[in-house]
Amino acid sequence: MKVLTKNSDYAIRALLALAAKKGSYLSAKSIATEHDIPYQFLRRLLQEMIRHDLIVSKEGAQGGFMMKKDPDAITVTQLIEIFQGKVQVSECMFRKQICGNRARCVLRHEIMRIEQVVQSEFEKVTIGKLLRDLESAGLKP
Amino acid sequence: MKVLTKNSDYAIRALLALAAKKGSYLSAKSIATEHDIPYQFLRRLLQEMIRHDLIVSKEGAQGGFMMKKDPDAITVTQLIEIFQGKVQVSECMFRKQICGNRARCVLRHEIMRIEQVVQSEFEKVTIGKLLRDLESAGLKP
DNA sequence: AAAACTGATACTATATTAGTATCAATTAAA
DNA sequence: TTTAATTGATACTAATATAGTATCAGTTTT
Ligand code: FES
Ligand code: FES
């Protein structure tokens, strides 16, 4: 069971790069080479992040991408939702008979409780936090 | 992002059925029809659970499957590991330069911490617990 | 001997994830 | 003003994981 797919993984790395160079444009190409991310793949991810208002872009030579949203306001949960869909434990785990009785279904409760825990843990991790952690460890993203 | 796939979902349901009829054999066919699980699919899952010593089987007419391991000792984590592989957050999230420095990598730390939380939450949920919860809600699995 | 089962394994189908390619439009700079 | 560097949009392929089906041999009860 994989929690982060390449999508999210790459997206996080790219955002860290952008957050570190806040205020200036970074080209997809430069991010791709520096971070070993497949170029065309990365470009699609960046487009997606524009659509979600996390970053902005400038076309043409010397163009590129720049942070828009506050890095502290971007959580890993959000990125997972964008690139892997909402965290869901199971579509609906038990047979019709039981599922008719959603309110009482204790299994569903258990499952939903875990879902909550997972989400809230990931919500504690923001791009801003990751960046500061990296920096305080003496590493550039 | 799906946490439980059909594999684990079906396996949990089948185990609940077996745990409820502890001590007697249930055929794959009866479990399949009662719980709307594709018959051949279920049989493969049952075989896998035998290999992991969760259940035992008896061949021939009137044969079937029976609980072996204590239901309270079977956690959802175990089932996820069997059917979806070990819970892992990301193969290795950052570029070589940083990954060389595993000990210091704060991102990895964050990620591993969450991995722990997820696992421990799922470990709280056992087949035994689910069964008792179901029963106390007045439902048979 | 027949019927009801499991054991083992091979096969197909569908969905998700990962990665590549192409071309048009835009902008900066030569 | 042409050229090069860049994004926007989209279509395509490949690899892997998930889901489901089929088949046949062996075992046990009736
Ligand atoms: S799983 Fe559908 S209601 Fe319990
Ligand atoms: S991700 Fe590989 S060490 Fe940090």
Task: Tell me what pLDDT residue B109 has.
Answer: 73
- The predicted structure's pLDDT at residue B127: 93
pLDDT in tens, B18-62: 999 999 999 999 999 998 899 999 999 999 999 999 999 999 999
A3 vs B122: CB contact, 8 Å cut-off? no
pLDDT confidence bin for A97, thresholds 50/70/90: very low
Taking residue B33's Cβ as centre, other Cβ atoms within 10 Å add up to 11
Q: What is the DSSP string of chain B?
A: -BSS-HHHHHHHHHHHHHHHTTTS-B-HHHHHHHHT--HHHHHHHHHHHHHTTSEEEE-STT-EEEE-S-GGG-BHHHHHHHHH-S-BS-S--S-HHHHTTGGG-HHHHHHHHHHHHHHHHHHT-BHHHHHHHHHHTT---
Q: Residue A47 C-alpha to ligand 2 middle, in angstroms?
A: 26
Q: How far apart are the CA of B62 and the nearest CA of chain A, in angstroms? A: 25
pLDDT at position A95 is 40
Cα B70 to Cα B26, B28, B75: the distances in Å are: 17, 20, 10
pLDDT in tens, B5-14: 899 989 998 9
* pTM for this prediction: 0.88
Whether the pLDDT of residue B95 is over 60: the answer is: no
Residue B139 has pLDDT above 80, yes or no: no
Q: Under CATH, which number does the domain A6-136 receive?
A: 1.10.10.10
pLDDT of the residue at A115: 74
For residue B3, give the nearest of A87, A125, A139 by CB distance: A87
Strand D within 7 A of B103 CB = no
Q: Please name the residues in contact with B109: beta carbons below 8 A apart, sequence gap of 6 or more.
A: A133
Question: Percentage of residues in chain A with pLDDT exceeding 90?
Answer: 52
- Domain locations along chain A: 6-136
Q: Which residues of B touch A125 (CB under 8 A)?
A: 110, 114
Q: Which residues contact A114 (CB under 8 A, 6 or more apart)?
A: A89, B3, B118, B121, B122, B125
Report residue B113's pLDDT band, with 50, 70 and 90 as the boundaries: confident
Q: Tokens 């007697």 appear where?
A: B24
